[in-house]
């Protein structure tokens, strides 16, 4: 349930907390590009996967042994599916003064209780890979209970409620690259603090865009505070890793 630190091009040295910790991927999406493979359990009902006390105990043992830049909730599925996410964030806050980040697919941010949990973090990285319902269905393959308009509504409401750093990632693949301008317009409406322009450089079922293709995409995001995966300085590799077996499956 605690792994790393791992090198993240977005966060630096990140010590991971997996609030799902399942043998297979549990998510509200089944994105075509996901490096974890197909979603085994596609759900939107929140529940407790890992007791808060177990996370607190595990993190308490690991923290004295490592020197991360941030503690990040991510892992084998969508973190906001964990009903006790807010409790976990509060627990981490008691153990460490490090910034706390949550990487979410933004699918459940239309729910008040999810936003109430997320605002407890220092950094939240959401995502938006589509500009319309049809593209959303093709790229993210969501649970039938998630509509595209709900995702947009949740993102906008969260932006207004969150006082921390809110980043929004857009994962570009061949499916959505031609609609980069439309996606950028929607991102501008949400007004994130930072935009992460990404493409799947790690092993993925979908081919990544080339550097030249992503540079073309970047033109649509001019005027926004964005960082692009090909142009970002990669953090140094970390020699000491806790939970190395799990890391192989947790791609960043």
pLDDT attached to residue 234: 61
Number of other residues whose CB lies within 10 A of the CB of residue 237? 8
Q: What's the pLDDT band for 243 if we cut at 50, 70, 90?
A: low
Mean pLDDT of 47-71: 94
CB 74 within 8 A of CB 169: no
What is the token pair recorded at 99? 């910034």
User: How many CA atoms does the CB half-sphere of 192 hold within 13 Å?
Assistant: 27
Q: What's the pLDDT band for 232 if we cut at 50, 70, 90?
A: confident
Ranges of beta strands (E only) in 85-219 are: 100-103, 123-127, 165-171, 194-198
Q: What's the pLDDT band for 5 if we cut at 50, 70, 90?
A: confident
pLDDT attached to residue 6: 87
Number of domains within the chain: 1
Question: Could you report the per-residue pLDDT of 96-140, keeping only the tens digit for each?
Answer: 999 999 999 999 999 999 999 999 999 999 999 999 999 999 999
Does residue 160 form part of some domain? yes
Ranges of beta strands (E only) in the chain are: 2-8, 12-17, 26-27, 41-42, 70-73, 100-103, 123-127, 165-171, 194-198, 226-228
Which residue segment(s) compose the domain that 151 sits in? 2-247
Question: Could you report the per-residue pLDDT of 210-231, keeping only the tens digit for each?
Answer: 999 999 999 999 999 999 999 8
Does residue 107 form part of some domain? yes
- In terms of Cα–Cα distance, which of 92, 61, 79, 83 is closest to 20? 79
Does residue 150 form part of some domain? yes
Residues of the chain above pLDDT 90, percent: 81
Does residue 68 form part of some domain? yes
Does residue 8 form part of some domain? yes
Lowest pLDDT segment from 14-23, 127-136, 187-196 = 14-23
Mean pLDDT of 78-96: 97
What is the rounded distance in angstroms from the CA atom of residue 148 to the CA atom of residue 152? 7
Q: Strand pairing partners for 102?
A: 73, 124
Does residue 252 form part of some domain? no
Does residue 81 form part of some domain? yes
pLDDT exceeds 80 at position 250: no
What is the CATH classification number for the domain harbouring 163? 3.20.20.70
Does residue 117 form part of some domain? yes
- The angle formed by the CA atoms of residues 243, 244 and 248, to the nearest 5 degrees, is 120
């Amino acid at each position: 349930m605690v792994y790393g630190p791992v090198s993240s091009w977005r966060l630096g040295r990140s010590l991971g907390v997996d609030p799902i910790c399942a043998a297979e991927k549990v998510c509200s999406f089944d994105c075509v590009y996901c490096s974890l493979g197909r979603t085994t359990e596609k759900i939107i009902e929140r529940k407790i996967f890992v007791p808060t006390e177990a996370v607190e105990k595990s993190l308490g043992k690991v923290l004295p042994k490592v020197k991360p830049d941030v503690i990040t909730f991510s892992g084998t599925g969508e973190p906001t599916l964990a009903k006790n996410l807010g409790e976990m964030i509060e627990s981490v806050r008691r153990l460490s003064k490090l910034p706390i980040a949550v990487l979410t697919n933004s699918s459940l941010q239309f729910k008040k209780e999810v936003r109430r949990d997320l605002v407890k973090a220092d950094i939240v990285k959401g995502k938006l890979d589509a500009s319309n319902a049809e593209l959303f269905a093709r790229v993210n393959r969501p649970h039938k209970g998630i509509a595209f308009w709900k995702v947009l509504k949740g993102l906008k409401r969260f932006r207004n409620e969150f006082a921390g750093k809110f980043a929004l990632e857009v994962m570009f693949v061949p499916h959505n690259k031609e609609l980069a301008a439309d996606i950028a317009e929607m991102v501008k409406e949400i007004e994130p603090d930072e935009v992460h322009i990404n493409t799947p450089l790690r092993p993925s079922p979908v081919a990544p865009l080339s550097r030249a293709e992503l540079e073309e995409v970047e033109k649509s995001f001019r005027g926004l505070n964005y960082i692009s995966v090909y142009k970002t300085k990669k953090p140094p590799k970390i020699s000491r890793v806790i939970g190395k077996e799990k890391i192989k499956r947790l791609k960043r």
